[in-house]
Amino acid sequence: ETGVTQSPTHLIKTRGQQVTLRCSSQSGHNTVSWYQQALGQGPQFIFQYYREEENGRGNFPPRFSGLQFPNYSSELNVNALELDDSALYLCASSGDRGRGEQFFGPGTRLTVL
C-alpha cells in the first residue's frame, strides 16, 4: 500500500454530467499529480498541484479542472462529461514538485454512458 487513497472506487455518469474525484496524498507529500488512463493504454498526464497551485498541465481541455487543499489532498473535476472520458483516473503524490518518487493511488474507474 502506498498510503495514497482515492474515492470513489467506481463511478457511473451520463454524458453532460459533472464529476468530482478525490485523492488523499501520502503523509509529508505536498505534490499531487492526476492522470487519465484509457483501457490498454498508458496514463496521460492531466495536471499537477504543488502547495495548492497548479504546477504543470498536460493536453486536456479546460473542462478538466482541479483543486488542492491546505492538507495537500486534491480534487479533479470534469464538467460536461463525454463518452471518451471513460477511463481509470489515477492520482500520484510526491514531494519535491514531483521530481522524486511518485506513489500512485488505486484509481477511480469512471464510466460515462
- Closest CB 26 distance from another protein, rounded Å: 12
The smaller minimum CB distance to another protein, of residues 40 and 62, is found at 40
**106 near another protein, rule: CB under 8 A:** yes
Q: Does 95 bind another protein (CB under 8 A)?
A: no
By the 8 A CB rule, do 86 and 111 touch? yes
Considering only 32, 68, 74, 105, the residue that binds another protein (CB under 8 A) is 105
**Whose Cβ is closer to another protein: residue 3's or residue 16's?**
3
**102, three cell numbers:** 511518485
Query: In the bound complex, what is the minimum distance in angstroms from residue 16's beta carbon to another protein?
Result: 27
CA distance 22 to 44: 18
With b for 16 or more beta-carbon neighbours within 10 A and e for fewer, the 56-84 pattern comes to eeeeeeeebbbebeeebbbbbebeebeee
